[in-house]
Amino acid sequence: MASPTEQASERFTRRLREVVVAAVVGVFLLLTLLWALERLRGLLVLAVFSLFCGFALEPAVNRLARRGWGRGRATLVVFLALSVILAAFGALLGAIVVQQISDLVQNLDDYTREVADFLDDTLGVELSGQDVAGQAGTVGEISRSVLGGALGFGATVLTLLFSLLTVATLTFYAAKDGPAMRRAVCRTLPPDTQREVLRAWEIAIDRTASYVYYRVILATVSAVVHWVVLALLDVPFAVSLALWVGLVSQFVPTVGTYIAGVVPVAVALAESPRTALWVLLFIVVYQQVENYVISPPLSARTMKIHPALGFTAAIGGVALIGPLGALLALPVVATVQSFLTVYLPEHDMVEDELLSDTGGPTAEEDEAEDAEQAARREAGKD
């Protein structure tokens, strides 16, 4: 029979072996999880984006469902209406872009000479005919090179279409089966926790809808302003181009502003370099006005988040998950902020100069303090 010391040593060895095995298995599972998350990162981003798209569509679906529509039919109607609008707009803008690019390529020599004349008359930069011809030749070589990469471009387009199909499918089911998802989650929770989860879910839907409302307002303002300016500059297709700028600049994250500005500038370039320059300058100036004048108060009113917080969140979203992060950042931050506002306790504020917007006491407060000190001195004399 083993002695107590030997038994204790055996138990320690067995326990150590179990800890080592558990640690090795744990590290292996953690590395496997990290590997899977890295491989599925793109799909997870699309899933989260689709969930927020479902939140944005769900109020309209709920409105139809309350009128007696089935959720499947209501979701399909809302989804098809939105798809038809976007498809019609894309087809219209696509035809305009193809036509303008075709005209630009066909008249490339004339445009390069106009650019040379414009630079000479306006900026005093002289370009010889050989320089212009050389630049035209360079542009032609670049064009041929770009056309030679059509296969790679086609692969990119197919990837984009697959991502759009994935988002569309997940968004449809997120809007259609929203109540079913909430029932599945709440079924595993006690009643009090269910109420808190549903409250948080409602906040997320409300903040996401507010974000879409905020973007629609910005897109409308941008479209109207650009339509007026493009019409004054006699740029063709002013209405369509204004709609393009308004929608793309607001609903395509990060690079939307630049993509939106390229098309009207190209169309204006087909008219004259001077018009294209004026359009480019206006787009740059308007973007600054929107960023610093229009967007901050509108964001604070609709999203209920501070402009600086929204700006920082957009940058952080891009750094974390790429361009879609800029689109998801505001509704996520607004949801978290609303959640904290609801659940964090509030207390009465103490009086302090640091809490005053003026940075110190007002004149009335100074007079009151002086009167109080004088009363104290009189009381001390007595």
Give domain limits for the chain: 42-133+156-342
Cα 175 to Cα 178: distance, rounded to the nearest angstrom:
5
What CA–CA distances, in Å, run from 60 to 63, 204, 226? 5, 15, 29
| Mean pLDDT, residues 199-221 taken together | 82
Contact 243, 223 (CB under 8 A): yes
Sequence-separated (6 or more) residues with CB below 8 Å from residue 268: 230, 233, 235, 275, 276, 278, 279
More confident residue, 200 or 140: 200
Burial of residue 49 (CB within 10 Å: 0-12, 13-18, 19+) is: buried
**In the predicted model, is pLDDT for residue 147 greater than 60?**
no
Residue closest to 227 by CA, chosen among 206, 243, 210: 243
> Lowest mean pLDDT: which of 172-186, 225-239, 356-370?
356-370
Neighbours of 167 (CB within 10 A): 16
Main-chain dihedrals φ then ψ at residue 276, nearest 5 degrees: -60, -40
Q: Which residues contact 364 (CB under 8 A, 6 or more apart)?
A: none
Q: Is the pLDDT of residue 233 over 80?
A: yes
Q: Above 60 in pLDDT, residue 149?
A: no
pTM: 0.61
Give the mean pLDDT of 121-149: 51
pLDDT in tens, 111-123: 566 666 666 666 5
Among 290, 228, 240, 232, residue whose Cα is nearest residue 267: 240
- Summarize the confidence of residues 130-155 as an average pLDDT: 51
Q: 376 pLDDT band (50/70/90 cuts)? A: low
Spell out the alpha helix ranges (H) of 177-237: 178-186, 191-232
Evaluate if residue 244 carries a pLDDT over 80.
Answer: yes
Tokens representing 322?
Answer: 């790429």
> What confidence tier does 165 reach under pLDDT thresholds 50, 70, 90?
confident
DSSP H or E segment with residue 314: helix 307-321
pLDDT higher for 117 or 56?
56
pLDDT at residue 197 in the model: 84
Compute how many other C-beta atoms are within 10 angstroms of the C-beta atom of residue 312.
13
Mean of per-residue pLDDT scores for the chain: 75
Sequence length of the chain is 382
> Do residues 175 and 79 touch, judged by C-beta distance below 8 A?
yes
SS3 assignment, position 305:
coil
Query: What does the pLDDT read at residue 356?
Result: 65
Amino acid at 244: W
Residue 350 reports pLDDT greater than 70: yes
Q: In a 10 Å sphere around its CB, with 0-12 CB exposed, 13-18 middle and 19+ buried, how is residue 339 labelled?
A: middle
pLDDT digits 0-9 by tens, 282-336: 988 888 888 777 777 776 666 666 666 766 777 777 777 776 676 677 777 777 7
Token pair 């941008």 is found at 222
